[in-house]
């Protein structure tokens, strides 16, 4: 009788150990997969300089030029735009939509233009990132005074910079978003080990 009980307990412990190992393995795979969210700049939109929209334009008309020059003569050239960040979550570890979803709870960022540090911020609210390689666009609203950071360039070069970013042929190629993402999983928040440089040429992650 004692031998039979010993065999039963040994078998039960083996099953429990096997199950526990599989659970731990699944948890580890899920955490690893969810931590692989990657980021890329997806362009700049709705760029305004001194209140003038640059969308679809290659140069100022006379009236817009006068407005921008008047602002510059007062020592400011305020710019506002949306910097669109594409976030990709390739997680397919469990094969279900709910478990493959990640939540971006924070994205502490610093904006660099032509490698010059400018403003910083964070996302205002959490954003759900579906899995299976889908992309989610996160628009970040930027507001900064270009004179404050580029006054040594002079009026013409600052205006040219603005059109290079948000004009008819504008792109985010001169922009870097240095950021620290925080991803929430079923197992709690998962911060990246450090900042990543988000650029427009490729997806980058952990």
Q: Residue 34: pLDDT band by 50, 70, 90 thresholds?
A: very low
Other Cβ atoms closer than 10 A to 177: 23
> Where in the chain are the domains?
2-198
Beta strands in the chain (DSSP E): 38-49, 52-53, 78-89, 102-113, 116-121, 127-129, 134-145, 175-185, 188-191, 196-198
pLDDT tens readout for residues 76-129: 999 999 999 999 987 765 545 444 788 999 999 999 999 999 999 999 999 998
What's the mean pLDDT when you consider all of the chain?
84
Return contacts of 8-11, CB within 8 angstroms, 24+ apart.
Answer: none
pLDDT tens readout for residues 45-62: 999 999 999 999 999 999
Angle (deg, nearest 10), helices 62-73 and 154-166: 120
Q: Does 75 score more than 80 pLDDT?
A: yes
In percent, how much of the chain has pLDDT > 70?
76
């Amino acid at each position: 009788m004692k031998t039979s009980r010993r065999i039963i307990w040994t078998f039960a412990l083996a099953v429990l150990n096997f199950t526990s190992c599989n659970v731990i393995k699944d948890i580890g795979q899920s955490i690893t997969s969810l931590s692989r969210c990657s980021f890329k700049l997806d362009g700049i939109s709705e760029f305004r300089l001194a209140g003038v929209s640059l969308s679809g334009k290659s140069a100022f008309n006379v009236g817009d030029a006068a407005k921008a020059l008047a602002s510059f003569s007062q020592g400011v050239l305020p710019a506002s735009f949306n910097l669109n960040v594409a976030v990709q979550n390739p997680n397919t570890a469990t094969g279900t939509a709910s478990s493959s979803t990640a939540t971006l709870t924070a994205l502490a960022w610093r904006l660099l233009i032509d490698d010059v540090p400018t403003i910083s911020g964070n996302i205002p609210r959490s954003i759900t990132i579906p899995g299976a390689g889908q992309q989610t666009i996160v628009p970040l609203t930027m507001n900064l005074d270009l004179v404050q950071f580029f006054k040594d360039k002079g009026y013409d070069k600052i205006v040219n910079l603005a059109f290079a970013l948000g004009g008819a042929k504008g792109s985010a190629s001169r922009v870097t978003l240095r950021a620290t993402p925080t991803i929430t999983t079923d197992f709690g928040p998962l911060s990246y080990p450090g900042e990543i440089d988000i650029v427009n040429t490729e997806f980058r992650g952990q």
